[in-house]
Amino acid sequence: MISAFDLDKTLFFVNTSVRFGRFLYRKGYISTRILFSLLCFYGLFRLGWLSTKTLHRKAFQRFFQGKDKGNLEELAALFLHEEYDKIVFPPAMARFLKAKKEGHYVAILSNSPDFLVRVIATKLSAHEWAGTRYSVDAKGCIDRVALEVDGREKAKILFDIAKRQNVDLKEVYAYSDSKEDLPFLRLAGHPVVVNGDRHLRKIARKNKWEVLA
């Protein structure tokens, strides 16, 4: 059995990148102007005026590009230490822990930055994880998005995991909140919608998928 989980609005009830931005602002690492622009982008996304892909690209350009990746990794670990108990979504986390206890191969697949996903997956002892990858320049600073883990990419990764683990897709559980993750959800024999919007809930009802809220 395989259980694969999205991160933002699924295992955590927040957008991890936005919450991390607020954390960095409190620590004096980014300016009020940058935080404001990040919150504006996220607001437009919540209104449906920006796709997840566009939100990520804009946040990258304003927020991560040119930053020292090693420093961000250290800050990500501190962020998780201070914020974890405040941002966990208990129903989804209970499923995660139950899947591990029952011997599932557990993965976290997220569009959030890889350095954030890595520290979370390590804390939760996930068997595998994937986050949007950034390349770095000669100075160790982030210079571009190398691979974005969107819904289609999550589906590809999940298919590869099932093949490597010799698990039939009918025995795969996939958890997500986003309609942009439909390729990921549809691949699994047991798709579970977590905190889905009205559109995704409608799709779930039509297909008789489980809804977790």
Q: How many domains does the chain have?
A: 1
Query: In the predicted model, what is the mean pLDDT of residues 161-183?
Result: 95
- Give me 178's structure tokens: 């986003």
The strand pairing partners of 192, in sequence order, are 175, 210
pLDDT tens, residue by residue, 41-72: 878 877 778 777 777 777 777 778 888 888 88
Residue 192: CB partners within 8 Å, gap ≥ 6?
A: 95, 173, 174, 175, 176, 209, 210, 211, 212
* Percentage of the chain modeled with pLDDT above 90: 60
Phi-psi region of 8 (alpha: psi -120 to 50; beta: other; left: phi over 0): beta
The percent of residues in the chain predicted with pLDDT above 70, rounded, is 100
Alpha carbon distance 119, 145 (integer Å): 19
User: What is residue 105's predicted lDDT score, i.e. its pLDDT?
Assistant: 98
Return d(Cα 176, Cα 6) in angstroms, integer: 5
Owning domain of residue 179: 2-212
Q: For the segment 111-154, what is each residue's pLDDT rounded down to a tens digit?
A: 999 999 999 999 999 999 999 998 889 888 888 888 899 999 99
Q: Which helix (H) or strand (E) holds 5?
A: strand 2-5
This prediction has a pTM of: 0.92
Report the candidate in 37, 42, 36 with the shortest Cα–Cα distance to residue 18: 42
Q: Kindly report the CATH number assigned to the domain that includes residue 101.
A: 3.40.50.1000
